[in-house]
């Protein structure tokens, strides 16, 4: 019995840590291939930046890639945009079914 517990503990120690998938979160939580709808932008300056990129409330976006410790490449409409993490943290999104 203790062998199986030790095996489980060893496997858990080496398992990759995967953040939970959220239904509503911020844009920086997106993973490659995720499709989300923009719910809101929490700061007026960030809202202006997002609007320049064509990302307003109700827009559907898709994560093309997520660069480690860098920007997210987001597809909005027909364009792909690199969105910095600071702006991405200010944009609330909801997962599309």
Distance CA 37, CA 92 (A): 9
Closest C-alpha among 55, 60, 87 to residue 71: 87
pLDDT digits 0-9 by tens, 33-89: 999 999 999 888 888 988 888 888 999 999 999 998 899 999 988 899 999 999 899
Structure tokens belonging to residue 4: 């199986």
Q: Taking the C-alpha atoms of 97, 22, 24 and 41 in order, what is their torsion angle to the nearest 10 degrees? A: -120
User: Domain limits of the chain?
Assistant: 22-95
pLDDT digits 0-9 by tens, 16-35: 544 445 677 899 999 999 99
Residues whose CB falls within 8 Å of the CB of residue 3, separated by 6 or more in sequence, listed in order: none
Superfamily of domain 22-95: Ferrous iron transport protein A (FeoA) (2.30.30.90)
């Amino acid at each position: 019995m203790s062998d199986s517990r030790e095996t489980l503990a060893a496997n858990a120690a080496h398992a990759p840590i995967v953040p939970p998938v959220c239904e509503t979160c911020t844009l920086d939580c997106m993973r490659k291939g995720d499709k989300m709808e923009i719910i809101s932008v929490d700061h007026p300056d960030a809202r202006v930046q997002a609007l320049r990129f064509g990302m307003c409330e109700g827009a559907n976006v898709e994560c093309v890639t997520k660069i480690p410790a860098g920007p997210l490449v987001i597809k909005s409409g027909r364009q792909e945009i690199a969105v910095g993490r600071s702006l991405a943290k200010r944009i609330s999104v909801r997962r599309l079914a």
